[in-house]
Amino acid sequence: MIRKLLLLGLIPILTFMWSSCDQTRQSTEQPNVLLIVADDLGYSDIGSFGGGIATPTLDTLAREGMQLTNFHVLPTCSPTRSVLLSGVDNHLAGLGTMGELKTEEMEGHPGYAGYLNFEVAALPEVLNAGGYHTYMAGKWHLGGAEETSPSARGFEETFILVPGGGSHWSDRRPLSPLQTMIYRRNGKTVDALPDDFYSTRYYTDILLESIGQNHGDGKPFFAYLSYTAPHDPLHAPQEYIDKYKGKFDGGWDVLREKRLQGLKDMGIVPEDASPYPRLPSVKSWDEMTLVERQEAARDMEVYAAMVDYMDEQIKRVFDYLKEIGEYDNTMIIFFSDNGANGAPRTAYPGQTDEYLSSFDNALENRGLPDSYIEMGPGWAQASMSPSRMFKAFTSEGGIHSPLLVKLPGKMTNAGTMNHSFFHVRDIMPTILDLAGIEHTKEFDGHSVRPMQGKSVLDLWSGKTESPYAGASRIGYELFGLKAFFDGDWKILWMPPPFGKGEWELFNLKEDPAEVNDLSARHPERVASMAVMWEQYKTDNGVLDISLDLSGVE
């Protein structure tokens, strides 16, 4: 009897000790990582960056975490993603150009393979080898063959769209007749989609299923939620489109000024900043016919609906992580892969008038199944206000991305904003730093490139106000368009009519819109930075090849 009482008395003590040990284990275990990438999202679209689209989930994330206002990516989708998953320049990772835009001169150069090459160790490969479950749902765009699919590059569970875009519905209509919308589940081609398929919801469903199936086995997860929203063709459920009816009837110039004022009010851009002028190819709203204005306003309503819907799906993920007790032990990263897309549908390789005329783009059907509409340059300029140009360009409109970060636990710097420059190449080193995993010099029996980026974890955690020395010294080249950053200074080379066909110089702190070319005033700075770009070109194997971008203005 005494033994029994003693044993009963020990049970609460043992329970407390076990609970304390379990809490200690949870507080010291490797954190989960949730990486969310939007596709062609504009800089000022979400609420915490001054936008008028309903994004309460992302706005809450900004309050719980940190808002980074000077984060830079690449001008288009796949080059950004190659740097994200390798920590090196896109020319070293295999995406010196997009795979669908390869030319004969690029053949035989591993930096222009058109897929994430095997000279790098991909982030999921390194994390998986370090004990992580690895899941992906959404856009891949880093290789069309099975041997270059995410299942072959370290992801355990995947549902992916192989190419860069296409219909968000189950009909799988591609961006142009030359392309094919291929979906794969765990490396195997998916023959049919559910009738009620909508990309943003379905990707979220798959990711939640993947996280849930291994929950409780003691291993952390890396989850890559790679949305295709709001990439064109713009598609959204009717009820979400209806929420924005009439919101954009004032036109793109009005929206551009509203977005700029929102950024000023939040202290993201200087009070005296002026927007880059509306492109000559974009009509004034007053010069447009009533039908043109109605259709253009509807297109932006659909775009806004896509962003709104994506925000709701992200909330589903957050709610599930809270439900299973993993939210507080998860690093969350959200950003856009490039600037808003101002290119017309006709710019896609292999596009034909016959294919485009096969869609029903009547006003009442725009954004619904069997339609094909795009944002266009007018709205893209507004979405990237005050920046110059948009997706595909090395000017700020193509490469300036909103970034939100939440570290595990309660952040002491929650709700703060940081204006330090750093680059997408720093994301992988930072994730590995938090996970306590060393990058490898060899992987799968062969040597791999060291990462060029470095961890910015101290910046994100508030331990420092700026990243490592050299974070803001970085070069760019894509489609023959060039840039180089050195602190607040940037040189930019773009051909006419987009630029001068020679190096221009800007102080981005004073002139974020790249309006005032200072090259004549500071020729010595231009010359020294041009030398830095030439060294960047040599170090990263950049080829002297230009592509015709006249169709994207």
Which pLDDT tens digit goes with each residue over 156-170?
999 999 999 999 999
Verify whether residue 21 is a known catalytic residue: no
Give the per-residue pLDDT at 22: 35
pLDDT at 443 (0 to 100): 85
- For residues 249 and 37, the answer to whether their CB atoms sit within 8 Å is no
State yes or no: pLDDT of 463 exceeds 50. Answer: yes
Confidence grade of residue 546 (pLDDT, cut at 50, 70, 90): confident
State yes or no: pLDDT of 271 exceeds 90: yes
Which CATH number applies to 27-552?
3.40.720.10
Q: Quickly state the pLDDT bin for 21 (edges 50, 70, 90).
A: very low
HSE on the CB side for 365, CA within 13 Å? 8
Indicate the Cα dihedral angle 129, 89, 175, 187, nearest 10°.
Answer: -20
Structure tokens given for 292:
């043109």
pLDDT band with cut points at 50, 70 and 90 for residue 544: confident
**pLDDT tens digits for 279-330?**
999 999 999 999 999 999 999 999 999 999 999 999 999 999 999 999 999 9
Determine the 3-state secondary structure of 133 from DSSP.
strand
Of 23-27, 102-106, 202-206, 247-251, the poorest mean pLDDT is in: 23-27
Catalytic residue among 141, 231, 235, 423: 141
Overall average pLDDT of the 441-464 stretch: 94
Q: Which pLDDT score, from 0 to 100, does residue 445 have?
A: 84
What number of residues does the chain have? 553
SS3 72: strand
Of residues 65 and 551, more confidence is placed in: 65
pLDDT of res. 104? 87
In this prediction, residues 217-243 reach a mean pLDDT of 98
Residue 70 pLDDT more than 60? yes
Q: Where are the domains of the chain?
A: 27-552
> Among the options 77, 91, 133, 231, which is catalytic?
77
| pLDDT reported for residue 243 | 98
Of 120-129, 417-426, 487-496, 542-551, which range is least confident? Answer: 542-551
What is the pTM (predicted TM-score) of this model? 0.93
Residue 549: pLDDT band by 50, 70, 90 thresholds?
low
Place of tokens 């110089």: 505
Residues above pLDDT 70, as percent of the chain = 94
Report the alpha-carbon distance of residue 450 to residue 389 in Å, rounded: 33
Distance CA 146, CA 502 (A): 42
Determine the pLDDT at residue 8.
Answer: 39
Q: What is the mean pLDDT of the chain?
A: 93
Q: In this structure, are residues 42 and 381 in contact, taking their beta carbons and an 8 Å threshold?
A: no
Please name the residue that has the structure tokens 């320049």.
89
Q: Is the pLDDT of residue 19 over 50?
A: no
Which stretch, 6-10, 106-110, 344-348, 398-402, has highest mean pLDDT?
Answer: 398-402
pLDDT above 90 covers a percentage of the chain that reads 89
Annotated catalytic residue 77: yes
Average pLDDT over residues 183-195: 95
350: pLDDT strictly greater than 70: yes
Measure the CA–CA gap between 183 and 145, rounded to whole angstroms: 12
Cβ–Cβ < 8 Å for 123, 150: no
How far, rounded to the nearest angstrom, does the alpha carbon of residue 133 sit from its chain's CA centroid? Answer: 22
Q: Tokens for 419? A: 């204006």
Q: With the CA atoms of 439, 442, 445 and 446 taken in that order, what torsion angle do they form, in degrees rounded to the nearest 10?
A: 130
Position with higher pLDDT, 545 vs 56 = 56
Distant-in-sequence, close-in-space partners of 147: CB < 8 Å, separation ≥ 6: none
Say yes or no to pLDDT of 17 above 80. Answer: no
Specify the pLDDT at position 452: 98
